[in-house]
């Protein structure tokens, strides 16, 4: 068994990760521009964050912008950055009041300096909050992180599998370590991971829904958790009572 203080089966609350997909299609289906889908998507983030603590979620990691998303038209990228800024400015007081700790994971060196400052201020303001840990993945690429983690570990030929595994796991997080993912949800109908939390999802339960992200509500999250609860997680062992 991998020796890690952060194994998913040893956690109290759940780590839920969401690939928030389908904003563009949601808008197109309504004859609107993709941008309007992203605006609605930001509202869905609020709803899901609000619903999470009562559903037993301790850690919520949301995929907001992948490193590959830089390849989108500049106008769309700018709007996404603007919405991200707006979210931080408008939500931080509320998050703090609700006991939500915000952390942003991913590269920061390609973000605008004022956005980086805002991220740092938001993280600092909510640092002591403990009710929910909200991690927003921005300019995030699991493969990039794996490559840098392997580079960091390459010199440590003295380590056994368990210690190396722990070291890699730590190096995969741009900030603090987080538990493995228990439940990964992807909205929008696609059934792929798109370079998200590849390491942390080793034993995650996967739930794919056709619902587009702007239509995602607390009830859909509750439904996904109920589906998760009905699954039998074995971590390579045999099922209990079998
Ligand atoms: C997810 O929605 C939001 C981001 C990737 C930033 P999309 O913009 O990918 O929406 P679709 O998949 O094109 O519908
Ligand atoms: C993944 O969605 C990234 C986010 C949700 C932020 P994409 O829409 O970019 O993924 P692909 O291109 O369909 O794999
Ligand atoms: Mg998409």
Listed by start position, the domains of the chain span 14-229
Q: Which residue has the higher pLDDT, 68 or 10?
A: 68
Q: Please give the model's pTM, rounded to 2 decimal places.
A: 0.93
* Number of residues written out for the chain: 242
- Using DSSP's 3-state secondary structure scheme, residue 135 falls into strand
- Asked if pLDDT for residue 1 goes beyond 60, the answer is no
Q: Which atom of ligand 1 is nearest to the CA of 26?
A: 14
User: Which of 116-120, 141-145, 162-166 is the least confident region?
Assistant: 162-166
* pLDDT, averaged across the chain: 92
Go through 79-114 and write b for each residue having 16 or more CB atoms within 10 A of its CB, e for each that does not.
bbbebbbebbeebbeebbebebbbbbbbeeeebeee
Pocket of ligand 2 (CB under 6 A): 19-21, 63-66, 69, 190, 192, 194
Pocket of ligand 1 (CB under 6 A): 20-25, 65, 69, 80, 188
pLDDT grade for 176, boundaries at 50, 70 and 90: confident
* Ligand 2 centroid from CA 134, angstroms: 20
> Does the annotation count 21 as an active-site position?
yes
What pLDDT, on the 0 to 100 scale, is given for residue 122?
98
HEC string of 161-199?
A: HHHHHHHHHHHCCCCCCCCCCCEEEECCCCCCCCCCCCC
pLDDT grade for 165, boundaries at 50, 70 and 90: confident
Catalytic one among 69, 144, 195, 215?
69
By the 8 A CB rule, do 161 and 132 touch?
A: no
* Ligand 2 centroid from CA 21, angstroms: 6
* Ligand 1 centroid from CA 108, angstroms: 21
pLDDT grade for 6, boundaries at 50, 70 and 90: very low
% of the chain beyond a pLDDT of 90: 81
- Going from the C-alpha of 115 to that of each of 49, 84, 159, 197, the distances in angstroms are 21, 9, 38, 23
Catalytic one among 21, 58, 139, 182?
21
14-229 CATH: 3.40.1180.10
- Note the maximum CA span of the chain: 59
What pLDDT, on the 0 to 100 scale, is given for residue 115?
98
- Asked if pLDDT for residue 8 goes beyond 50, the answer is no
Where helices occur in the chain by DSSP H, the ranges are: 23-29, 34-51, 74-97, 113-125, 142-154, 161-171, 218-229
Find the Cα–Cα–Cα–Cα dihedral 101, 107, 108, 111, rounded to 10°.
Answer: -110
* Ligand 3 centroid from CA 231, angstroms: 27
Ion ligand 3: protein residues whose beta carbon lies under 5 Å: 21
Nearest ligand to the CA of 37 is: 1
Query: Model confidence over 26-61: pLDDT tens digits?
Result: 999 999 999 999 999 999 999 999 999 999 999 999
Nearest to 23 by CA among 61, 107, 71, 80: 80
């Amino acid at each position: 068994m991998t020796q890690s203080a952060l194994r998913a089966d040893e956690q109290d609350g759940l780590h839920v990760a969401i690939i928030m997909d389908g904003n563009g299609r949601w808008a197109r289906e309504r004859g609107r521009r993709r941008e309007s889908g992203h605006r609605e998507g930001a509202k869905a983030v609020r709803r899901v964050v609000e619903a999470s603590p009562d559903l037993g979620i301790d850690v919520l990691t949301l995929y907001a912008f992948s490193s590959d998303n830089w390849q989108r038209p500049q106008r769309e990228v700018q709007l996404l950055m603007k919405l991200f800024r707006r979210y931080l400015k408008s939500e931080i007081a509320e998050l703090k009041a609700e006991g939500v700790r915000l952390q942003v994971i991913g590269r920061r060196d390609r973000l605008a300096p004022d956005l980086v400052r805002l991220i740092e201020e938001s993280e600092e303001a909510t640092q002591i909050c403990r009710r929910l840990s909200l991690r927003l993945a921005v300019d995030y690429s699991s493969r990039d992180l794996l490559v840098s983690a392997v580079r960091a570990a390459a010199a440590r030929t003295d380590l056994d599998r368990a210690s190396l595994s722990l070291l890699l796991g730590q190096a995969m997080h741009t900030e603090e370590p987080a538990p493995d993912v228990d439940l990964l949800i992807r909205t929008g109908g696609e059934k792929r991971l798109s370079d998200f939390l590849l390491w942390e999802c080793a034993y995650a339960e996967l739930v794919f829904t056709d619902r587009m992200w702007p239509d995602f509500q607390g009830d859909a999250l509750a439904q996904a958790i109920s589906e998760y609860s009905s699954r039998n997680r074995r971590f390579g062992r045999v099922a209990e009572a079998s």
